[in-house]
A and B are shown apart, each in its own frame.
Chain A
Amino acid sequence: MKKQFSTRVKAIVVIALVLAIVISIVSSLFGATWPEKAVQAVLTPIRSGVSSIVRQVERYYNYIFGYEALEAENKYLKERIAQIEDNIRQNDALERENRRLQELLDLKERNIDYELCSAYIVAWESSSWKSSFTIAKGSSDGLAEGMVAVTEYGQVVGVIQEVGPNWASITTVLDASLKIGASISSSGHTGTVQGAYTTDQMGKLRMNYLPSDAVLRNNDQVVTTGSAVYPKDLILGYIEDAGIDETGVSKYAILTPAVDFNTLEQVFILTQFQAD
């Protein structure tokens, strides 16, 4: 036993423990350290390569085994297109009416100038406790910590937590650590949205601190209230359930996220916007 537990073995154990403590302290004080950035910079091209191979394989798999499903989806989509075209015609009429009313009331349409940077997801955080992913764009593309990631439909995906020269780590809205100021579109009631962390609410969002007299209806849209990080009116999700919270003085709502994280491949980082 003593022979096996040599000085070299003891040194390995001690180095591991010392490194763990030092890295913990340094990263909590200064964020991502240069060795972390270097390892990520080396791993990102490999992850990008593997990720694109996986995507290709998945496409072939879906093509071969998902033909009937695709056919059904195609039929459904054709029906949806017809429905949407009908909606567009109605919307055009409403838009014209709205424009006339706006002119009448002399309201100025507010324009927010968004600057977006497109990026593909190359790796997901593999633990069950955290919801985050890595993209193959970084500070060299103008990204910085705290920038918000959205989909092409203006739905909030998450916020950049760490950034390296060619990679960035994004914590999604599903993570319980992210709290976002939000309001219900129809009623204007405000609250805070965060990732739900109980087992029966996995993959859902929870809107807290709603007034006890707030009327909450299913499928009511919840949007951001706007801050230095988030522009106003980005879609967070839709109300699915509601109740009185643990304190008994305010309400909460369970939301279905607007983003479908299972099929998410590409995100857009909001590098610049005009805050209200």
Chain B
Amino acid sequence: MKAAARWAGTALVLSAVAFLLSPYYNDVYRKLLLWITLALSYNFLFGVCGQIAFSHFTFYGIGAYAVVILIFQLGLPLPVAIVAGTALCALVALAAAIPSTRLEGFYLGLATLALAQLFIVVLNEGGTLTGGTGGLANYRLPKVFGFELSGPRYTVVIVLLLIGTFALLARLDHSWFGRACRAVRDNPEAAAAMGVNVARTKVIAFAVTSALAGAAGMVYAFVDNTVNPPIFGLENAFLLLFMVIVGGAGRHAGAVAGAVFLFLLPFVLSPLIGHHHVLVFGVLMVAAIVLQPRGLIGIYDELRRRIA
């Protein structure tokens, strides 16, 4: 009950912020919240469960494209499309997970890298269904119970998505399943000896986090009312990995911190030092890992310890 109140309070505060921001900051805020959502679920997959996958943005893309195609090409009503879209993501995730989580470490990385590149090929070659390289545009979110969700009001939808994702993952993390995931990450043999079904744990973690990415993708589709292939490419998949690492893999707060830091970095630095901001980003990456391998959250812990 107390936890529920805390979640609701956070959602309220985060939503209230949206109504104070100008359209530009609102837009950046929306995209930041989406990155945080993705970083949280990716952190669960990579940081908690130890699976190196580059397919997170692929599922984000499947969700985004699915909801647009289902509503505007197949004419399904919004709620049906959302359910069908999530189901599709979970299904594709399961289909990808069952065979590929048999692979370890970088083999899984390579298999999902191939999947991510294949997805872009399919988007580019999808003809009118996916709109090819130009993607799909010229649609708007249908009214929900007579409400037009746009501007700050749509930001509230994203806040709810973020809070829902966070609450679900926090819950999972604290359950036996979270402990099983960590055990599988740290030592699969020991985990198996303790009675954890390693394969099943991996598959469930992969499918759940991928479905969460898909749900985020559905929300993304109406942020700019455009979906196109470059968003779902490898560039962003790598950035997501960096976010989780820089923030501190394995910790929810780390994922949040990493996403906030790396997403906002170019917005802040670009006006100051122009193009050099990417170099700064690279140097920070190296420095973060070499100086504080537990990332931003490690620095925070350190500071707290010193103050206390």
Answer yes or no: are A and B bound together in one complex. Answer: no
